[in-house]
Structure 1
Amino acid sequence: MTDVAPSPLKKVLANAGQLLSGRVVNAIIGLAYIALTARSLGAEMMGVLVIINAFAQFLGEVAHFQSWQTLITYGAGPLLENDKRRFQQVLRFTLLLDLISAVLGILLGMLGAWFFWRQLSWPEGMNGYGALYALSIGVMTSASGVGLLRLFDRFRFLAAEQAISSFVRLVGCAICAVTQAPIQYFLLAWAAGTFAAFFYIAAIAIWDLKRKGLLSGFTVMGPTSKDLPGVWRFAMATNFSGTLDVGFTHVLTMAVGALLGPAQAALWRIGKQVADGMAKPARLMVPALYPELAKMRASGGQQAMTKLAVQIALIGGAAAGVLLLVSLVSGRWILETVMGPGFGAAAGVMNWQVAAAAIGVMTLPLEPMLVSMRAAGAAMMVRLVVVLTYLACLVPLIRTFGLTGAGAALVASALAMAIGMYFMARRRLARLAAEESSAPRPT
């Protein structure tokens, strides 16, 4: 008997399930080290730490080329065709992107920490520690290893990435809490987690490449973008779109800290941590979705892409409703139980953050579809318009309504993003259908 290949939906859900196993552990450990940090440092110094971390992560995203998307989009075809030379060229190109990202990110981080610490509401003497923390940007920006493991369906190894990072942070924060260490040692513990995750992914990716024989004959020197049409444009578009997506989150934390102070920034960051943790299980379908859509696109399966996206959207919609209900009913209890009574005040803004996350969960297949159809520029334009509009309104909203204003605007921006991505994806699918119908049929 021949084995029946699993359907794309089953494959996405299976891979997402493998990621979920690690992320559940990560969510628990992540809340534990956040709670240790908050209880040890208090709201004020916890706010300083999260602002420094947000600063480093924001600059990491600014410099980050999202090389994993380039590797999956341009490497799926050569991998399916067993074209080792072309696959190695794509890998060489994405490693070059990672190197550029690391150098640029560290440089921006160290200079920014040294010269703009006052504007970021850091206390006197924290600029040097912030500059040292910026060294972790170099490993935040490396994504080729993640792309390789996603392309090879090695999601069970990816599942442990963030759990390892959080576990290292938990051990470090526990030592700091017991010894009553100052904030700089907590920063060291958080940075150590970032480095641990990088070395873990790099080791697994190299092992997998050797196992598949894809390192045989590979050299660092050689062609990169040659005969890869539009690859630089694609890399720049995904970089900018990724910067707007993830970096946007860290800009909000820094803006809240600058306008309302570190204590309010801590409430915003803790609410966001819990909201993201609640939405994480559904969002895990996205990294599992990219490789399947890329393979469908490489084999000309536009109708299958649409069917899969609709199925994922329906599952996401059901998950989104549950998320919002849990937040509204139990949000304050969750915060006070985990973080302490003083952090229950974050419940109000967390409801807005969960609502925004729920909208994103319902529409999560849209951007992966656009990227897989090599329309990353369209996704980038939608994100750019929405983010610029939000940022233009952010300062007056925070000054007038505080955290509530920032949260309500976050919901509005999530809704606008969803509508824009939907119309762009619909337009792109119609164009592909027209191209297929006008193509000459073989006789």
Structure 2
Amino acid sequence: MRRRLLRNLAWVGSSQAVIAGLGLVSLALTARALGPAGLGMLAVIEAYSRSIARLLHPEPWQVVIKHGAEALEAGDNERFERLVWLSLMTDLVLGLAAAVAGVALAGLATRWMGAVGDQTALLALGATAGLLAARPTAMGVLRLYDRFDLLARIDMGIALLRLALVAAVWAAGGGLSAFVLVFVAWTVADGLLPMLFALPQMRRRGHRLRPASPRRIAAENPGLLRLFVNSNVNVTLRQLRQRFDIVLLAGVLPPAALGHYQIARRIGEAALRLGRPLGQVTFPEFARLAARNDRLRLRRLLVWSSLGLSAALLVILAPVAMQMDRLLPLAFGPAFAGAAASVSIMAAAMALYMAGLTTGPALMALGHDRAMTVITGATTALFFAALIPAARVWGAEGAAAMQLVGNALWLAACLVVALGAVRPQPIQRQAAT
């Protein structure tokens, strides 16, 4: 297990570092082309599209990994094939529903988001980006096959495509409309390409898509619907804090302040990419250990992965935060010098979130997805309740501070529940003696 884990972590970690770097270059070119106000409007359009997609397109990849691991461990290939087929159909149907809803609601959304102005057409165009989104199923399949290397190459290719499109628009002097088209193009590629590579991997292993009734698939995978709902409620609540926040702030902050907040968010997301691979790589391992009821190794993996990530974050992020007021104008232009405080606060918020990245996969693998959902729901509710009042008083810095407070509460609760869930039972210790 250790060799496989380290190999997968190396692939995913290196690819995410490359993607984060390419993403920051894309962000810098976009910021220089549009300025704070234009970047703020683009951020709202992207956030609107992703928020609608997140709400109406729950992702089934957690189900594919957990129940797919059980099926493959048991040698039941047909059960696995039926599960993947249902997951893919779910992705395609819900992706279509999200795109249609996003286009239909664009006019209504524009009325709230005063910072966007009269940009209903661009808002609707951005909403079509999630139309063909089969990536979640592909992620589950490729991770179960231990093809983290292939998924890493695909993701780096998509990041390069995005940078190439952004650079072309920047060189041509394109405006907001052109950058919205770039967003749609690379999002569609991100949704389709992983599945186009996953299908040949299935055929190579003698697997295929096997249609069956959803009722049958649910019956042979006990707890499937509960895991699908709870894992997605948890992820949706988490991601809405990273996407829907700017949609709400568009009715409170001016475009330039939104641009500063977007810079903080995107830099925070780039930092998050450096830690996210650990959660991606450990989930299949947690699922395998839970299927074998090996609590001791599961607890050890949880503790050491959390401690290792926390130490790495302290070494990497602290020096960068100390130079933030110099780095921002150099990278994004003098107009973004005022975003230094927001970026530093957001970096601290993301560091707290990354420190607990492996607790979620561990709890889901152990069947404690409901507890994870309750924790995330409570901290998200507190965040949104305080977001607009804080933004009205302190602007973009206040909004970033609410991310920090929310993540601190989330981390504390997750650690308490996760460590309790993997603690050996007294009866087990007596039996061992």
Fold match by TM threshold 0.5: yes
Matched, 1:19 2:3: no
Secondary structure of the 1:139 match is: coil
Q: What is the number of equivalent residue pairs in this alignment?
A: 431
CA distance in 2, matches of 1:373, 1:410: 28
The one-letter code of the counterpart of 1:196 is: A
Asked if the contact 2:116–2:255 (Cα under 8 Å) also holds between the matched residues in 1, the reply is no
Of 385, 410, 433, which aligns to 2:425? 433
SS at match of 1:82: coil
CA contact (8 A) 1:67 1:98 kept: yes
TM-score (norm 1): 0.91
The aligned residue for residue 263 of structure 1 is: 256
- Stretch of structure 1 that moved more, 336-345 or 120-129: 120-129
Say yes or no: does 1:310 pair with 2:303: yes
The structural deviation recorded for 1:98 is 1.3
Unpaired segments ≥5 residues, structure 1 = 1-5
**Does 2:96 match 1:71?**
no
Q: CA deviation at 1:71?
A: 0.4
* Cα shift at 1:299: 1.2
Mapped pair 1:111 → 2:67: no
Mapping of 1:17-416 within 5 angstroms?
A: 17-121=10-114, 123-140=116-133, 142-215=135-208, 218-219=210-211, 223-416=216-409
Structure 2 residue runs of 5 or longer lacking an equivalent are none
- Supply the AA of the counterpart residue of 1:330: Q
For the 8 Å contact 2:82–2:212, the answer to whether it is kept is no
Alpha carbons 2:26, 2:166 under 8 Å: kept:
yes
Provide closer, same or farther for how the CA distance between residues 138 and 435 of structure 1 changes in structure 2, counting only shifts above 3 A.
farther
> 1:435 and 1:92 mapped to 2: Cα distance?
41
CA distance in 2, matches of 1:84, 1:435: 36
The C-alpha deviation readout for 1:390-422, integer Å capped at 9, x for no partner, is 111111111111122222221111111011112
Measure, in 1, the Cα distance between the counterparts of 2:173 and 2:334.
21
Query: Is the 8 Å Cα contact of residues 289 and 368 (structure 1) preserved in structure 2?
Result: yes
Name the CA distance, whole Å, in 1 between partners of 2:146 and 2:135.
19
**Is the Cα contact below 8 Å between 1:323 and 1:354 reproduced in 2?**
no
**How much does 1:214 deviate?**
0.7
State the shift of 1:125 in Å: 4.3
User: In angstroms, what is the RMSD of aligned CA positions?
Assistant: 2.2
Q: Is the 8 A contact 2:298 2:422 kept in 1?
A: no
The separation in 1 between residues aligned to 2:427 and 2:253, in whole angstroms, is: 53
Deviation at 1:64, TM superposition (A): 3.0
- Do the aligned partners of 1:59 and 1:137 also contact (CA within 8 Å) in 2? no
2:212, 2:99 → 1: CA distance?
A: 22
Counterpart CA distance in 2 for 1:435 and 1:391 is 43
Q: Which amino acid aligns with 1:352?
A: I
Q: Deviations for 1:44-76, whole angstroms, at most 9, x for unmatched residues?
A: 111111110011111111123221111001110
Secondary structure of 1:224 counterpart: helix
Quickly say closer, same or farther: Cα 1:158–1:48, change in 2 above 3 A: same
Q: Is the 8 A contact 2:249 2:391 kept in 1?
A: yes
SS of the residue 1:118 aligns to: helix
Structure-2 separation of matches of 1:141 and 1:338: 34
- Mark the CA change 1:278 to 1:124 in structure 2 (over 3 Å): closer, same or farther: closer
Q: Assess, with a 3 A threshold, how the Cα gap between structure 1 residues 21 and 320 changes in structure 2: closer, same or farther.
A: closer
